[in-house]
A and B are shown apart, each in its own frame.
Chain A
C-alpha cells in the first residue's frame, strides 16, 4: 500500500518506520524544517518537507495514488482538513485522523472524518484496576486532552444502586466505562444493574465531578428524581 503520513512527531516518525518495516511505501510530510532535517537523516527520501494543508504539497507527495492518508499533526484543524481533502478531493479510500483535544471530536464527526483516534483512548486501555478508596478518586488527569478518569465506590446509600445503567442520566461530557464487582471488571451494558459495593470507572470532562457525585452519591443529596 502507498501511505501518506502527515506530521513527523514521535507518533508519525515511529509509525512511518513501522510501516516501512512492513514493506509499505510511505511518505512522511513534515512542515517544521528542523524536524524534517532530523527525520530525514534516517528516513531519507521517505520524508518530504512542506505544509500538508496546501494541496500542491499533497500532490507532490503523490496523493492521487495514495491508498491511505494518516493525519497526525498537533493541530486538530489541520488534521481535519487534510483528511477532508484527501477523502473528498483526491478520493483516498482510507483516512485516519488524530484528535488532540477530545472536545474537537464532534467536529471530526460533523465533517465525517472517520476514524479519528485520540491518545486518551490508548491510555484508557492501559488502565489497571486498583482498589479505590471511598468516594470519588482521580485516577488520571489528562490535562492536554482535557479529560479525567475517576473511580467511585457505590455505598449502600447510593442513589443508583438497583438501577439499570441504561436508565442513568449521565451528565453530558461523562461516560461510564467500567464496573468493578467482586474483584472483576467488566464493561457495563444498558441492562447492567448497579449494586452496592460496585466500583465504577468513568471518564469525564474536567469540572464534571460534582455532577457525577450527585448522580452516584447518597440519595437525597440533590440526586435528580427519576
Chain B
C-alpha cells in the first residue's frame, strides 16, 4: 500500500515538474521571439518549414483524402435513408474545417514531427551537445526551440487547410460516385452553410495544436535522460502527452466557440 502511494506521489511530482518545465520553456521561447528576426534564425526557420512541410505532405494528403471519403460514405448512407443525401456537402465541410482537419493534422504532425523534435533534442542532450551550446553561451531555447516552435506553428495551419481541402475533395468524389450528388450541388451546399467562424476556429485550433506539439516535443527532448533508451522514451512520451493535450484542448476550444 505504502509503495503504491509512493509511486503515485512520484508520478504526480514528475507530472508537475514536467508541466512547469514546459510552461517555463514556452514563456522563455515567447520572450526570445525578437531573436527570430536575425538572418541566421530566419534561415533556420525557413529550412525547418520546408522540411516539415515536405516531410508531412504525403501522409497528410492520404489520411485527409480517406477521412473525407469515410465521412461522406457514412454520413451519406444515413442521409440517403432520409432522402437528404444532398446535405453531405455541409456536413463534411463543417466537420473537416472545424474539427477533423485540425485534429487529424495535429495527430499526424505529432507522430511525425513532435516525436522527431523530442528525439532530435533528446539525442543532443545525451550526447552533450546541449551542454556544449551552454558552454559556448548559446541559449538552446533561442538556437533550437524557437525556430522549431515558429516553424511548427506556421506549418500546422497550412497543413490543416490543405487537409481540409483534400478531405472535402475526397468526400465530393464519394458523394458523386455513391450518392449521385454532383460537384456543383456538393460545393454549393458546403459554401452556403459554412461560416467564417468555422474557418476561424479551425485555424485557431491548428495554431494552438502547433504550439502544443512543439512545446511538448522540445520539453521531452530537453528532459531526456539515460542514453538511447531515454531518447526513445522521450519520443514516446511526447506523442502520448501531445495526443492527450490535443484532444482535451480541442474539446475546450470547440466548447468556447459554440458557447
User: Are A and B part of the same complex?
Assistant: no
B residues in contact (CB < 8 Å) with A: none
A residues in contact (CB < 8 Å) with B: none
